[in-house]
């Protein structure tokens, strides 16, 4: 799949579900090549969102988009196949939910999709160092997972830089993703710190005009490279 880094990944958690297809197409028409799907189970996180049928609907609305699935659920191994069948191009699991993380990553890769590992703001990066060489994507949560519309936790900037430093030092190849509280005011700083996949929910879908907002965020990402 073709996309240029850094890339914006609008999170449909904040979309108007009565117009989900239209909201997603507003994003892709404005140049968004990724769509981020937040799966919440009411156990690992104190909120319930949606399951594979909504991911399949998102893929149907934008077959050309890279569908990025973020599993905030316990026992994620039980659901990997369902999300792959729904059209996921990447599946990210939380370190905090995976006692056998190496096996879970291999299980995701078996389906030919990208395998990501997410860490909560209070989880130290050293916890996932042993598997960083196997990860296709590392997601540094910039809010405590479970809800959209929260404020970006500033300590995330240093965590992004640390993930980039380890990758360079060890010759790893994972993408660095950031999720939570990303908006027009901070997106440039987040990208300049080294984030390559920037998830934005309320900033995109609560905007007066989704297309214009995606264009504005994407423009800031493009100029962050300069």
Ligand X SMILES: O=C(CO)[C@@H](O)[C@H](O)COP(=O)(O)O
The residues carrying an active-site annotation are 38, 179
- Local structure of 173: helix, strand or coil: coil
Q: How far is the CB of 204 from ligand X (least distance, A)?
A: 8
Consult the annotation and say whether 194 binds a ligand. no
Consult the annotation and say whether 100 binds a ligand. no
Q: Which is nearer to ligand X, 3 or 147 (CB)?
A: 147
Contact status, residue 49 vs residue 31, Cβ threshold 8 Å:
no
Contact status, residue 26 vs residue 210, Cβ threshold 8 Å:
yes
186/153 Cα distance (integer angstroms): 11
Q: How far is the CB of 45 from ligand X (least distance, A)?
A: 6
50/106 Cα distance (integer angstroms): 25
Q: Which is nearer to ligand X, 14 or 176 (CB)?
A: 14
Q: Which is nearer to ligand X, 107 or 120 (CB)?
A: 120
Consult the annotation and say whether 70 binds a ligand. yes
Consult the annotation and say whether 201 binds a ligand. yes
DSSP 131-163: GTTT-SEEEEESS-TT-SSPPP-TTHHHHHHHH
Q: Which residue's CB comes closest to ligand X? A: 201
Q: Which is nearer to ligand X, 172 or 189 (CB)?
A: 189
Q: How far is the CB of 131 from ligand X (least distance, A)?
A: 21
Consult the annotation and say whether 42 binds a ligand. no
- Give the interface with ligand X as residue ranges (CB under 6 A): 11, 13-14, 36, 38, 70, 143, 145-150, 179-182, 199-203
Task: Kindly state the DSSP code that residue 174 receives in the 8-state scheme.
Answer: P
Q: How far is the CB of 100 from ligand X (least distance, A)?
A: 23
Locate all alpha helices (DSSP H) within 87-201, ordered by sequence. Answer: 101-109, 156-170, 187-193
How many C-beta atoms lie closer than 10 Å to residue 202's C-beta? Answer: 17
The secondary element (H helix, E strand) that includes residue 36 is: strand 34-40
Binding-site positions for a divalent metal cation read 36, 38, 70, 179
Binding-site positions read 11, 36, 38, 70, 146-149, 179-181, 201-202
Binding-site positions for substrate read 11, 70, 146-149, 179-181, 201-202
């Amino acid at each position: 799949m073709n996309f240029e880094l850094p890339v914006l990944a609008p999170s449909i958690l904040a979309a108007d579900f009565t117009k989900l297809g239209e909201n997603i197409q507003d994003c892709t028409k404005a140049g968004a090549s990724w769509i981020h799907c937040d799966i919440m189970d009411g156990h690992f996180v104190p909120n319930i969102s949606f399951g594979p049928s909504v991911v399949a609907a998102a893929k149907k609305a934008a077959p050309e988009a890279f569908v990025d699935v973020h599993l905030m659920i316990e026992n994620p191994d039980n659901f990997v196949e369902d999300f792959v069948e729904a059209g996921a191009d990447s599946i990210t699991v939380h370190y905090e939910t995976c006692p056998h993380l190496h096996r879970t990553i291999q299980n995701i890769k078996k389906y030919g999709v990208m395998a990501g590992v997410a860490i909560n703001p209070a989880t130290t990066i050293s916890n996932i160092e042993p598997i960083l060489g196997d990860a296709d994507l590392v997601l540094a949560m910039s809010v405590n997972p479970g809800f959209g519309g929260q404020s970006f936790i500033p300590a995330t900037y240093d965590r992004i830089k640390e993930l980039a430093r380890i990758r360079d030092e060890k010759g790893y190849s994972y993408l660095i993703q950031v999720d939570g509280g990303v908006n027009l005011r901070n997106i440039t700083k987040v990208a300049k710190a080294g984030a390559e996949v920037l998830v934005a929910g309320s900033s995109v879908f609560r905007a007066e005009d989704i297309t214009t907002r995606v264009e504005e965020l994407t423009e800031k990402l493009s100029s962050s490279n300069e």
